[in-house]
Amino acid sequence: MGQYTTFEEQVLYGLEHIDAGRQVELSLREAVYLHQLLGKIHDFFEQPRHYPDIEDIHQFLGDAEHGALKLVAKAYKNLQDVIPADIHQELAEGETFDHPNPPYYGLD
């Protein structure tokens, strides 16, 4: 097994295989939803005083029924409809976009 990778390395891996000029269509409502979602997650984690202990992070994240995880899951599901079939297939196969080395948080 290789060296552990950072969150950033995991997210960016394989993106160079997509033509930078290739585009998808996203409704304005969905774009604003993603903007709000990412903005609120950023706002929370940007300030460590927002999460003085692990319970605060658990409360923020929530689960499939409430909190950030519910909203992230909805956004993830909605994006499945916009991703072109060929890219969706590559994502499913895991070779192009899944980093070969595990993330630093050690989920082997």
Instruction: Tell me 26's DSSP state.
Output: -
Percent of the chain with pLDDT over 70: 95
Question: Residue 74 pLDDT more than 60?
Answer: yes
Could you report the per-residue pLDDT of 10-59, keeping only the tens digit for each? 999 999 999 999 999 999 999 999 999 999 999 999 999 999 999 999 99
Higher pLDDT, 103 or 62: 62
Question: Residue 107 pLDDT more than 70?
Answer: no
Cα radius of gyration (the chain): 16
End-to-end CA separation in angstroms for the chain: 9
Distance CA 2, CA 6 (A): 13
Q: What is the pLDDT of residue 48?
A: 96
The pTM of the full predicted model, rounded to 2 decimals, is 0.84
Mean pLDDT of the chain: 94
